[in-house]
Amino acid sequence: MDDIDVPESHPRYQSLLTRHRIEDGVEKGITSQQGLIAQGRGETFDYLLGEETIPSADDAARAAAAHLLLADHPVLSVNGNVAALVPGETVDLADATGADIEVNLFNRTEERMQAIADHLRAHGAETVKGLTADGRIPGLDHERAKVDADGIGAADVVVVPLEDGDRAAALAEMGKTEIVVDLNPLSRSAESATVPIIDNIIRALPTVTAHARDLADADESQLRAIVDEFDPEETRAAAEDAIRSGELA
């Protein structure tokens, strides 16, 4: 899936690779056609951020890792774009934090759900939740309300990358700690998040995983200090300032 006829030295290599993965996901029935539009919207913000992980995003990734390591029941939510872009990275993060993986889709069909679950298993996932759908998120009238009762339904910390804002808000209303990966600091998802990571998911998930592995031996007091020191409002403001000013550290 990573084979594209463009040399890695090409200045747009990562962008072209990402587009290729989304296109391939559509062909495999993993990603919906609407996912192509979402990818384009996110790419615009990434251009404005200089296509790099800014310091505030790295701080957010570290706070996210601390939350996941402190959690009793962390869950990584996966939609079609996440499955297409970072399947192996999702499995790595789950391994580093002991999190469950659960598929959750707006354009949900049994075929897509199964295709994504199989795709994640092909990248190393042992267990993939979401197909049972014996629980619901209150306040939502569409397919993303369907969750596994022993997955997202029972989670205390949920990673919701590339998220729809209404579900992010509904999960926050349930009292869940939300870690959101979103390139738009003004989105409803970022506004709802306990930890908004304003970064491209292809950089963000490996960064969270790296921090989780670095913090694996930290005691509870150290992890709680990281969580307590993190300010989501400052993180969103720093990203917005970087986008508006174009002055990156």
Compute CA distances 56 → 33, 53, 151, 188, 243, whole Å: 32, 8, 30, 19, 13
Tens-digit pLDDT string for the chain (249 aa): 445 566 666 556 666 677 767 777 777 878 766 656 666 566 778 888 888 999 999 999 999 999 999 999 999 999 988 999 999 999 999 999 999 999 999 889 999 999 999 999 999 999 999 999 999 999 888 888 999 999 999 999 999 987 677 888 899 899 999 999 999 999 989 999 999 999 999 999 999 999 999 999 999 999 999 999 999 999 999 999 999 987 654
Distance in angstroms (rounded) separating the CA atoms of residues 83 and 248:
30
Assess contact for 178 and 172: CB atoms under 8 A.
Answer: yes
Instruction: Write the single-letter amino acid at 107.
Output: N
Predicted pLDDT of residue 196: 97
Strands (E), the chain: 74-78, 100-103, 135-136, 146-147, 157-159, 177-181, 195-197
Instruction: Write the single-letter amino acid at 141.
Output: D
Assess contact for 77 and 100: CB atoms under 8 A.
Answer: no
Instruction: Write the single-letter amino acid at 127.
Output: T
Instruction: Give the contacts of 201 (CB within 8 A, at least 6 positions apart).
Output: 81, 82, 85, 86, 161, 162, 181
Distance in angstroms (rounded) separating the CA atoms of residues 23 and 142:
25
Instruction: State the CB neighbour count (10 A cutoff) for residue 5.
Output: 6
Q: What is the DSSP letter of 140?
A: -
Predicted pLDDT of residue 79: 92
Distance in angstroms (rounded) separating the CA atoms of residues 60 and 229:
11
Assess contact for 134 and 146: CB atoms under 8 A.
Answer: no
Structural domain boundaries of the chain? Answer: 55-245
Distance in angstroms (rounded) separating the CA atoms of residues 50 and 242:
9
Distance in angstroms (rounded) separating the CA atoms of residues 247 and 249:
7
Nearest to 204 by CA among 24, 100, 51: 51
Q: What is the DSSP letter of 9?
A: T
Q: Which fold has domain 55-245?
A: Rossmann fold (3.40.50)
137 SS3 class: coil
